[in-house]
Amino acid sequence: MSTRTVNWTALQDATPSPEGLRERKKRLMRQQLSDTATEMFIERGFDAVRVSEIAEACGVSEKTVFNYFPTKESLVLDLGEATLNALNDLADPKSPPVETAVRILNEQLQAITTWLSAQENAAEAINKFRQFGTLVAQTPALRAHQRDMTDKLVTAAAQILATRLNQDTNDPEPQIAAVALLGLWQVQFQALRKHLDANQTPEEIAKAVTADVQRAANTINKGLTTLGK
Protein backbone atom coordinates (compact mmCIF):
# COMPACT_ATOMS: atom_id res chain seq x y z
CA MET A 1 0.00 0.00 0.00
CA SER A 2 1.28 3.40 -0.91
CA THR A 3 2.36 5.67 1.92
CA ARG A 4 0.90 8.64 0.02
CA THR A 5 -2.66 7.66 -0.77
CA VAL A 6 -5.03 4.89 0.15
CA ASN A 7 -4.73 1.95 -2.26
CA TRP A 8 -8.40 1.69 -3.17
CA THR A 9 -7.64 -0.92 -5.82
CA ALA A 10 -6.68 -3.35 -3.09
CA LEU A 11 -10.33 -3.37 -2.04
CA GLN A 12 -11.51 -4.89 -5.29
CA ASP A 13 -10.72 -8.45 -4.25
CA ALA A 14 -10.45 -9.51 -0.63
CA THR A 15 -8.73 -12.74 -1.66
CA PRO A 16 -6.63 -11.83 -4.72
CA SER A 17 -4.99 -14.51 -6.81
CA PRO A 18 -1.19 -14.82 -6.74
CA GLU A 19 0.31 -11.77 -8.40
CA GLY A 20 2.71 -12.27 -11.29
CA LEU A 21 5.34 -9.79 -12.41
CA ARG A 22 3.11 -8.37 -15.15
CA GLU A 23 0.18 -7.86 -12.74
CA ARG A 24 2.46 -6.29 -10.15
CA LYS A 25 3.87 -3.80 -12.67
CA LYS A 26 0.36 -2.84 -13.76
CA ARG A 27 -0.79 -2.40 -10.15
CA LEU A 28 2.21 -0.25 -9.26
CA MET A 29 1.80 1.90 -12.36
CA ARG A 30 -1.89 2.39 -11.61
CA GLN A 31 -1.05 3.42 -8.06
CA GLN A 32 1.71 5.77 -9.22
CA LEU A 33 -0.63 7.50 -11.64
CA SER A 34 -3.34 7.90 -9.01
CA ASP A 35 -0.88 9.09 -6.35
CA THR A 36 0.72 11.63 -8.66
CA ALA A 37 -2.60 12.94 -9.94
CA THR A 38 -4.00 13.31 -6.42
CA GLU A 39 -0.92 15.21 -5.23
CA MET A 40 -1.05 17.54 -8.21
CA PHE A 41 -4.80 18.12 -7.95
CA ILE A 42 -4.57 18.94 -4.24
CA GLU A 43 -1.65 21.32 -4.81
CA ARG A 44 -2.92 23.15 -7.89
CA GLY A 45 -6.60 22.33 -8.25
CA PHE A 46 -8.31 19.73 -10.42
CA ASP A 47 -9.02 22.00 -13.40
CA ALA A 48 -5.50 23.46 -13.45
CA VAL A 49 -3.79 20.11 -14.07
CA ARG A 50 -3.79 18.49 -17.50
CA VAL A 51 -3.65 14.73 -17.95
CA SER A 52 -0.59 15.22 -20.14
CA GLU A 53 1.21 16.77 -17.16
CA ILE A 54 0.39 13.76 -15.00
CA ALA A 55 1.67 11.48 -17.74
CA GLU A 56 4.90 13.47 -18.03
CA ALA A 57 5.44 13.42 -14.27
CA CYS A 58 5.13 9.61 -14.32
CA GLY A 59 7.28 9.17 -17.42
CA VAL A 60 4.52 7.69 -19.57
CA SER A 61 2.33 8.80 -22.47
CA GLU A 62 -1.08 10.38 -22.08
CA LYS A 63 -2.51 7.33 -23.85
CA THR A 64 -1.06 5.11 -21.13
CA VAL A 65 -2.86 7.13 -18.46
CA PHE A 66 -6.17 6.60 -20.21
CA ASN A 67 -5.43 2.90 -20.59
CA TYR A 68 -5.54 2.70 -16.81
CA PHE A 69 -8.16 5.35 -16.10
CA PRO A 70 -10.94 6.08 -18.60
CA THR A 71 -11.44 9.65 -17.38
CA LYS A 72 -9.50 12.34 -15.57
CA GLU A 73 -11.96 12.13 -12.67
CA SER A 74 -11.38 8.40 -12.20
CA LEU A 75 -7.71 9.07 -11.47
CA VAL A 76 -8.76 10.06 -7.95
CA LEU A 77 -12.22 8.54 -7.64
CA ASP A 78 -11.90 4.85 -8.46
CA LEU A 79 -13.34 3.38 -5.25
CA GLY A 80 -16.64 3.01 -7.05
CA GLU A 81 -15.31 0.13 -9.14
CA ALA A 82 -14.24 -1.73 -6.00
CA THR A 83 -17.65 -1.10 -4.46
CA LEU A 84 -19.37 -2.30 -7.63
CA ASN A 85 -17.60 -5.65 -7.30
CA ALA A 86 -18.36 -5.88 -3.59
CA LEU A 87 -22.08 -5.30 -4.14
CA ASN A 88 -22.33 -8.77 -5.65
CA ASP A 89 -22.42 -9.99 -2.04
CA LEU A 90 -25.95 -8.59 -1.82
CA ALA A 91 -27.06 -11.63 -3.80
CA ASP A 92 -26.45 -13.91 -0.79
CA PRO A 93 -29.94 -14.73 0.57
CA LYS A 94 -28.44 -15.72 3.93
CA SER A 95 -27.13 -12.21 4.61
CA PRO A 96 -29.54 -9.29 5.23
CA PRO A 97 -28.87 -6.44 2.76
CA VAL A 98 -28.08 -3.85 5.43
CA GLU A 99 -25.70 -6.22 7.19
CA THR A 100 -23.89 -6.88 3.93
CA ALA A 101 -23.58 -3.17 3.13
CA VAL A 102 -22.23 -2.38 6.60
CA ARG A 103 -19.67 -5.18 6.30
CA ILE A 104 -18.44 -3.83 2.95
CA LEU A 105 -18.16 -0.35 4.42
CA ASN A 106 -16.27 -1.69 7.43
CA GLU A 107 -13.77 -3.35 5.12
CA GLN A 108 -13.24 -0.13 3.21
CA LEU A 109 -12.90 1.83 6.44
CA GLN A 110 -10.35 -0.70 7.67
CA ALA A 111 -8.23 -0.04 4.58
CA ILE A 112 -8.25 3.67 5.41
CA THR A 113 -7.34 3.25 9.07
CA THR A 114 -4.63 0.73 8.17
CA TRP A 115 -3.15 3.34 5.85
CA LEU A 116 -3.35 5.99 8.57
CA SER A 117 -1.66 3.68 11.07
CA ALA A 118 1.22 3.09 8.66
CA GLN A 119 2.06 6.80 8.34
CA GLU A 120 4.98 8.25 10.28
CA ASN A 121 3.25 11.58 10.73
CA ALA A 122 -0.40 10.99 11.61
CA ALA A 123 -1.30 14.69 11.61
CA GLU A 124 0.14 15.17 8.13
CA ALA A 125 -1.63 12.05 6.85
CA ILE A 126 -4.97 13.17 8.27
CA ASN A 127 -4.49 16.63 6.81
CA LYS A 128 -3.83 15.08 3.39
CA PHE A 129 -6.98 13.03 3.69
CA ARG A 130 -9.00 16.09 4.64
CA GLN A 131 -7.50 17.99 1.69
CA PHE A 132 -8.66 15.17 -0.57
CA GLY A 133 -12.18 15.47 0.81
CA THR A 134 -12.13 19.22 0.27
CA LEU A 135 -10.86 18.74 -3.29
CA VAL A 136 -13.81 16.50 -4.10
CA ALA A 137 -16.35 18.73 -2.34
CA GLN A 138 -15.14 21.88 -4.12
CA THR A 139 -14.69 20.46 -7.63
CA PRO A 140 -17.91 20.29 -9.71
CA ALA A 141 -16.46 17.71 -12.12
CA LEU A 142 -15.55 15.36 -9.27
CA ARG A 143 -18.93 15.81 -7.59
CA ALA A 144 -20.63 15.04 -10.90
CA HIS A 145 -18.46 11.95 -11.31
CA GLN A 146 -19.46 10.83 -7.82
CA ARG A 147 -23.14 11.28 -8.64
CA ASP A 148 -22.78 9.32 -11.87
CA MET A 149 -20.99 6.50 -10.06
CA THR A 150 -23.62 6.48 -7.32
CA ASP A 151 -26.33 6.15 -9.97
CA LYS A 152 -24.41 3.25 -11.48
CA LEU A 153 -24.06 1.58 -8.09
CA VAL A 154 -27.76 2.07 -7.28
CA THR A 155 -28.70 0.48 -10.61
CA ALA A 156 -26.39 -2.47 -9.97
CA ALA A 157 -27.66 -2.96 -6.42
CA ALA A 158 -31.28 -2.78 -7.60
CA GLN A 159 -30.60 -5.44 -10.22
CA ILE A 160 -28.96 -7.75 -7.70
CA LEU A 161 -31.74 -7.28 -5.14
CA ALA A 162 -34.44 -7.76 -7.78
CA THR A 163 -32.90 -11.07 -8.81
CA ARG A 164 -32.64 -12.09 -5.17
CA LEU A 165 -36.32 -11.27 -4.65
CA ASN A 166 -37.47 -12.65 -8.00
CA GLN A 167 -38.80 -9.20 -8.91
CA ASP A 168 -38.36 -6.77 -11.77
CA THR A 169 -35.52 -4.27 -11.40
CA ASN A 170 -37.98 -1.40 -11.80
CA ASP A 171 -40.23 -2.61 -8.99
CA PRO A 172 -40.33 -0.11 -6.10
CA GLU A 173 -38.93 -2.49 -3.46
CA PRO A 174 -35.50 -3.16 -5.01
CA GLN A 175 -35.29 0.44 -6.21
CA ILE A 176 -35.81 2.07 -2.82
CA ALA A 177 -33.72 -0.59 -1.09
CA ALA A 178 -30.79 0.15 -3.42
CA VAL A 179 -31.07 3.91 -2.89
CA ALA A 180 -31.15 3.45 0.89
CA LEU A 181 -28.19 1.08 0.94
CA LEU A 182 -25.99 3.28 -1.23
CA GLY A 183 -26.85 6.22 1.00
CA LEU A 184 -24.71 4.53 3.65
CA TRP A 185 -21.61 5.26 1.56
CA GLN A 186 -22.39 8.98 1.69
CA VAL A 187 -22.87 8.72 5.45
CA GLN A 188 -19.44 7.10 5.81
CA PHE A 189 -17.79 9.73 3.60
CA GLN A 190 -19.30 12.56 5.65
CA ALA A 191 -18.47 10.79 8.91
CA LEU A 192 -14.83 10.50 7.87
CA ARG A 193 -14.65 14.21 7.15
CA LYS A 194 -16.27 14.93 10.51
CA HIS A 195 -14.18 12.61 12.67
CA LEU A 196 -10.72 12.85 11.08
CA ASP A 197 -8.74 14.42 13.89
CA ALA A 198 -5.01 14.25 14.60
CA ASN A 199 -5.78 14.04 18.32
CA GLN A 200 -7.51 10.70 17.82
CA THR A 201 -5.93 7.37 16.97
CA PRO A 202 -6.96 5.60 13.74
CA GLU A 203 -8.84 3.11 15.93
CA GLU A 204 -10.79 5.92 17.62
CA ILE A 205 -11.59 7.48 14.26
CA ALA A 206 -12.82 4.13 12.94
CA LYS A 207 -14.98 3.62 16.01
CA ALA A 208 -16.62 7.04 15.61
CA VAL A 209 -17.22 6.60 11.88
CA THR A 210 -18.60 3.10 12.38
CA ALA A 211 -20.99 4.41 15.02
CA ASP A 212 -22.39 7.00 12.59
CA VAL A 213 -22.79 4.42 9.84
CA GLN A 214 -24.49 2.01 12.23
CA ARG A 215 -26.94 4.70 13.33
CA ALA A 216 -27.86 5.27 9.69
CA ALA A 217 -28.07 1.52 9.10
CA ASN A 218 -30.40 1.12 12.07
CA THR A 219 -32.64 3.82 10.62
CA ILE A 220 -33.23 1.89 7.38
CA ASN A 221 -32.83 -1.63 8.73
CA LYS A 222 -36.39 -2.10 9.95
CA GLY A 223 -37.83 -1.61 6.50
CA LEU A 224 -35.21 -3.60 4.60
CA THR A 225 -35.35 -6.65 6.87
CA THR A 226 -38.82 -7.32 5.50
CA LEU A 227 -37.46 -7.82 1.97
CA GLY A 228 -38.39 -11.24 0.61
CA LYS A 229 -40.67 -12.06 3.54
Residues 111 and 69 in one domain: no
Closest CA to 140 of 54, 73, 75: 73
Q: With 0-12 CB in 10 A as exposed, 13-18 as middle and 19+ as buried, what is 218?
A: exposed
Question: What pLDDT, on a 0 to 100 scale, did the predictor assign at position 227?
Answer: 65
The contacts of residue 121 (CB under 8 Å, 6+ apart) are: none
Which stretches of the chain are DSSP H helices? Answer: 21-44, 51-58, 62-68, 79-86, 97-118, 122-138, 140-165, 172-195, 202-224
pLDDT in tens, the chain (229 residues): 344 554 444 444 444 456 688 888 998 999 899 989 999 999 999 999 999 999 999 999 999 999 999 999 999 887 787 899 999 999 999 999 999 999 999 999 998 888 888 888 888 888 888 888 889 989 999 999 999 999 999 999 999 999 999 999 999 999 999 999 999 999 998 999 889 887 888 899 999 999 999 999 999 987 766 665 5
71 located within any domain: yes
Residues 125 and 53 in one domain: no
Domain total in the chain = 2
Q: Give me the CATH number covering residue 49.
A: 1.10.10.60
Rounded Cα–Cα distance for residues 213 and 191 (Å) = 8
Q: Please give the residue range of the domain that contains residue 138.
A: 79-224
Residues 13 and 64 in one domain: yes
SS3 17: coil
